[in-house]
Amino acid sequence: MSCNILAIESSCDETSAAVISDGKILNNIVATQSVHEKYGGVVPELASRAHQQHLVPVVSEALKSSGVDKSALSAVAFTRGPGLMGALLVGVSFAKSFAHALDLPLIEVNHMEAHVLAHFIEKPSPSFPFICLTVSGGHTQLVRVSSHLEMEILGETLDDAVGEAFDKIAKILGLPYPGGPQLDKLAGNGDPDAFTFPLSDMKGLDFSFSGIKTAVLYFLKKNLKEDPDFIARNLEDICASVQQTLIAMLMNKLIRACNESEIREVAIAGGVSANSGLRKALKESAGEQGWKVYLPKLEYCTDNAAMVAMAAHYKYQAGQFCGLDISPLARMKIGNHGKK
């Protein structure tokens, strides 16, 4: 009998459901929340309400398009955290109710672990152990991955995530939401050496991205006093210079982590792994450092239920289930399981 799992993702502003059968992703249904665009960022309360509106249609479509009837499901998986508490609560509550009604086991999934395991949706996939640079709007982590269910954080941001730095700087420049992809697009036509911004270098393998936001802000204020059209005339060069600085911060730590661990299998994951500059830098470093590099498909970079389903597949095989008394965790680190 096939093992069919319904997976639900609701950690931020993407409502998603997917069905996996014997380790094969059958679909990946995602409903994007456009309501946040006019606010220039995700509004938690509006995200929760949108999840309530989207979840039933998304799950219905996932089951229908997969050809798997709910009576043939083996388990229900959901993102427990990290994420926005209200958004997580919608997904967790739905998963618990759905599983309880059908007397199915529940599987909790760590959102960040799911990003890493997105690399196993399709081949080629990394060999263990590998280093994964996980970068998103809320997290920046260097993770040593020893198996599908064994991960260790080697370093992480001590303040802002790199995705937040991209988005906040883009907002300062007047770019539309979501700003990160817009900045990346403009950077492609700019001179990355036009302007110089400071590289923060924390001890060990940790990151800090709060300083560059401040540096860019003061840089722009100074130049705008002298030339009100400074941003308009130099927008592409500013974007390219900012992007080069942020990527350099990431790559410096990634190279250090690989050298210290003597691991040459390298992957990236998370929303910022869609950034064209980062992907290019990783490919270039592959030749220089002797790495074997793995880049996820763009559809598996941003938040999606397919990656949750993939993680759930391995947890199902290991018999790692949870009870109906499980609650969401807004702050949940890799390895932080079984806590109420």
**Domain CATH code at residue 237:** 3.30.420.40
Rounded percentage of the chain residues whose pLDDT exceeds 90 = 90
* Per-residue pLDDT band at 228 (split at 50, 70, 90): very high
Q: Quick one: 149 and 249 in the same domain? A: yes
Q: 237 among the known binding-site residues?
A: no
Residues 99-120, mean pLDDT to the nearest whole number = 98
- Residue spans of beta strands (DSSP E) within the chain: 4-9, 14-21, 24-25, 29-32, 75-81, 106-110, 130-135, 140-147, 150-156, 265-269, 292-294
**What per-residue confidence (pLDDT) applies to 336?**
66
Any domain includes 323: no
Burial class (CB in 10 A: 0-12, 13-18, 19+), 212: buried
Residues 2-28, mean pLDDT to the nearest whole number = 97
Q: Quick one: 139 and 288 in the same domain? A: yes
**What per-residue confidence (pLDDT) applies to 146?**
98
pLDDT tens-digit readout, 52-109: 999 999 999 999 999 999 999 999 999 999 999 999 999 999 999 999 999 999 999 9
Q: Quick one: 242 and 130 in the same domain? A: yes
* Per-residue pLDDT band at 230 (split at 50, 70, 90): very high
Q: 180 among the known binding-site residues?
A: yes
Any domain includes 107: yes
Q: 136 among the known binding-site residues?
A: yes
Distance CA 186, CA 173 (A): 11
Q: Quick one: 167 and 271 in the same domain? A: yes
Instruction: With a cut of 60, say whether residue 339 has pLDDT above it.
Output: no
Query: 22: left (phi > 0), else alpha (psi -120 to 50), else beta?
Result: left
Any domain includes 338: no
Q: Quick one: 106 and 156 in the same domain? A: no
Of residues 41 and 221, more confidently modeled:
221
Distance CA 7, CA 140 (A): 24
Any domain includes 100: yes
Q: 111 among the known binding-site residues?
A: yes
Q: Quick one: 130 and 107 in the same domain? A: no
**What per-residue confidence (pLDDT) applies to 33?**
79
Q: Where is average pLDDT lowest: 198-202, 268-272, 302-306? A: 198-202
Q: Quick one: 49 and 156 in the same domain? A: no
Instruction: With a cut of 50, say whether residue 217 has pLDDT above it.
Output: yes
Q: 134 among the known binding-site residues?
A: yes
Q: 167 among the known binding-site residues?
A: yes
Q: Which domain holds residue 308?
A: 4-116+303-317
**What per-residue confidence (pLDDT) applies to 201?**
80
Any domain includes 329: no
Q: 211 among the known binding-site residues?
A: no
**What per-residue confidence (pLDDT) applies to 6?**
98
Any domain includes 326: no
Q: Quick one: 79 and 225 in the same domain? A: no
Q: 159 among the known binding-site residues?
A: no
**What per-residue confidence (pLDDT) applies to 340?**
44
Any domain includes 277: yes
Q: 127 among the known binding-site residues?
A: no
Q: Quick one: 265 and 198 in the same domain? A: yes
Distance CA 217, CA 223 (A): 10
- What is the H or E stretch that residue 317 is in? helix 305-317
Q: Quick one: 249 and 162 in the same domain? A: yes
Q: Quick one: 130 and 260 in the same domain? A: yes
Residue recorded with tokens 């399981």: 337
In sequence order, what DSSP letters do the residues of 188-217 get, joined into one string? TTS-TTSS-------STT-B--HHHHHHHH
Q: 242 among the known binding-site residues?
A: no
Residue recorded with tokens 């093992």: 3
Residues 163-192, mean pLDDT to the nearest whole number = 95
Q: 115 among the known binding-site residues?
A: yes
- Give the total number of structural domains in the chain: 2
* Per-residue pLDDT band at 36 (split at 50, 70, 90): confident
Q: 138 among the known binding-site residues?
A: yes
How many angstroms separate the first and last alpha carbons of the chain?
33
Any domain includes 99: yes
**What per-residue confidence (pLDDT) applies to 136?**
93
Q: Quick one: 165 and 221 in the same domain? A: yes
